[in-house]
């Protein structure tokens, strides 16, 4: 699609129960020469007919609306007529949890709508909104056959804090994973397939602070391994996964036979914080051939060079393939620079990890 061609603009449908927000989003998106808002709807019921008649390339969708909530609508949409969706939700704890469920159901990305002074807040987010809509227009979306990552009936063993027996366990193996756009669903897909005996995992997913905490808790509730938002000094233990907090870098260090994580501020790397490159580089230095690195779906290049450092240090490295990636940016760059030992579909990654670690 040539977005600078006026005959080939990205067609957007804006769904929000607030007339003010619909107007603001329409103005913001129409200011981009390559985007055209072809319609708006105040709730999903009105939106159904408009989707069929207007055939939008991307939908922006509010979560809480009358007559049908955004999640119910999204689930129906993705199971019958999938269209790339960018969620627009309040930056609150409840909003984070709902948005994560939406990402599991197939939404491509989200914009955090401010709770206070919404109008000015949306205007200040104009650049982010346009960028995420453009990314969504390139995303691969497929018909969903499930209602979310939690539908598999995972039986948890016990809570993270209750693993007293694991305090005496150590391992010289470690798994590092990095992802961005589309990554929440991909990470959930991998983690829910892994057994309790899986070596310790460290994960960077690009998202804000409130979201990483909710994401960690969500993963912990649906997987056999224990997942938590990382804090400085946390040990990387078998059967556990540590998620880098939003807006903080995470690195791994080794002390004897034990791995620990450190959480820090610092400059943005590849325009992001946390950075996958920062994590992967630290794992390359402290774990070498005893590590596995996985780079998943995402826009940009973060993680590619760090994955190459891991491979050069002897680690087994995997890049998600194009067909199963929502956005084939980060894995593509890793493949181009020779950072991947193997290229794999998302479904094949858990088995490859366990075979080689």
CB distance 124 to 177 below 8 Å: no
pLDDT at position 44, please? Answer: 87
pLDDT at position 163, please? Answer: 38
From first to last of the 357 residues of the chain, give the pLDDT tens digit. 444 455 689 999 999 988 999 999 999 999 999 999 999 999 888 898 899 999 999 999 988 777 788 889 999 999 988 999 999 887 666 778 888 889 989 999 999 877 778 788 889 999 999 999 999 999 988 876 554 444 343 444 433 333 333 333 334 799 999 999 999 999 999 999 999 999 999 999 999 888 999 999 999 999 999 999 999 999 999 999 999 999 999 999 999 889 999 999 999 999 999 999 999 999 999 999 999 999 999 999 999 999 999 999 999 999 999 999 999 999 999 999 999 999 999 999 999 999 988
Q: What is the pLDDT of residues 209-240, one digit of tens each?
A: 889 999 999 999 999 999 999 999 999 999 99
CA atoms within 13 A on the CB side of 24: 18
pLDDT at position 97, please? Answer: 83
Cβ contacts of residue 351 below 8 Å, gap of 6+? none
Active site residues: 180, 206, 302
pTM of the model: 0.85
Quick one: how far is CA 330 from the chain centroid? 12
* Strand runs labelled E in the chain: 10-15, 35-41, 58-62, 85-90, 109-113, 174-179, 201-205, 226-229, 240-243, 249-255, 258-264, 291-295, 316-320, 342-344
pLDDT at position 91, please? Answer: 63
DSSP 328: B
CA distance 63 to 105: 13
pLDDT at position 227, please? Answer: 98
Token pair, residue 177, equals 């994973």
Specify the pairing of strand 258-264 against strand 249-255.
antiparallel
Q: What is the pLDDT of residues 235-261, one digit of tens each?
A: 999 999 999 999 999 999 999 889 999
Determine if the peptide bond prior to 274 is cis (ω within 30°).
Answer: yes
pLDDT at position 4, please? Answer: 46
CB distance 77 to 146 below 8 Å: no
Can you say whether residue 300 is alpha, beta or left, with left for phi > 0 and alpha for psi between -120 and 50 degrees? left
H or E stretch covering 254: strand 249-255
User: Position of tokens 């596995």?
Assistant: 292
């Amino acid at each position: 699609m040539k977005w600078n061609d006026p005959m080939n603009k990205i067609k957007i449908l804006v769904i929000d129960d607030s007339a003010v927000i619909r107007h603001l989003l329409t103005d913001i998106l129409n200011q981009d020469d390559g985007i055209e808002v072809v319609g708006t709807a105040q709730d999903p019921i009105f939106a159904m007919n408009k989707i069929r008649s207007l055939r939008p390339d991307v939908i922006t969708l509010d979560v809480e609306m009358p007559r049908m909530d955004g999640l119910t609508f999204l689930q129906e949409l993705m199971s019958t007529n999938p269209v790339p969706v960018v969620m627009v939700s309040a930056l609150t704890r409840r909003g984070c949890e709902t948005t994560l469920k939406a990402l599991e159901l197939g939404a491509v990305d989200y914009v955090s709508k401010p709770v206070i002074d919404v109008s000015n807040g949306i205007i200040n987010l104009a650049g982010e909104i346009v960028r995420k809509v453009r990314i969504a227009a390139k995303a691969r979306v497929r018909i969903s056959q499930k209602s979310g990552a939690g539908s598999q009936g995972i039986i948890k063993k016990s809570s993270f804090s209750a693993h007293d027996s694991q305090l005496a366990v150590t391992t010289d193996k470690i798994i590092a994973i990095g992802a961005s756009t589309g990554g929440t669903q991909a990470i959930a897909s991998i983690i829910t397939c892994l057994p309790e005996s899986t070596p310790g995992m460290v994960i960077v997913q690009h998202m804000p602070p409130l979201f990483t905490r909710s994401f960690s808790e969500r993963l912990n509730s649906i997987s056999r391994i224990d997942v938590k938002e990382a804090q400085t000094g946390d040990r990387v233990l078998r059967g556990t996964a540590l998620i880098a907090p939003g807006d903080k870098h995470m690195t791994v260090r080794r002390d004897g036979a034990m791995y620990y994580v450190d959480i820090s501020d610092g400059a943005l790397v590849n325009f992001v914080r946390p950075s996958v490159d920062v994590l992967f580089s630290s794992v390359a230095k402290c774990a070498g051939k005893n590590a596995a690195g996985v780079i998943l779906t995402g826009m940009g290049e973060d993680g590619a060079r760090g994955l190459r450092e891991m491979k050069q240090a002897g680690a087994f490295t995997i890049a998600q393939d194009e067909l199963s990636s929502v956005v084939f940016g980060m894995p593509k760059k890793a493949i181009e620079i020779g950072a991947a030992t193997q290229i794999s579909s998302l479904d094949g990654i858990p088995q490859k990890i366990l075979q080689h670690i």
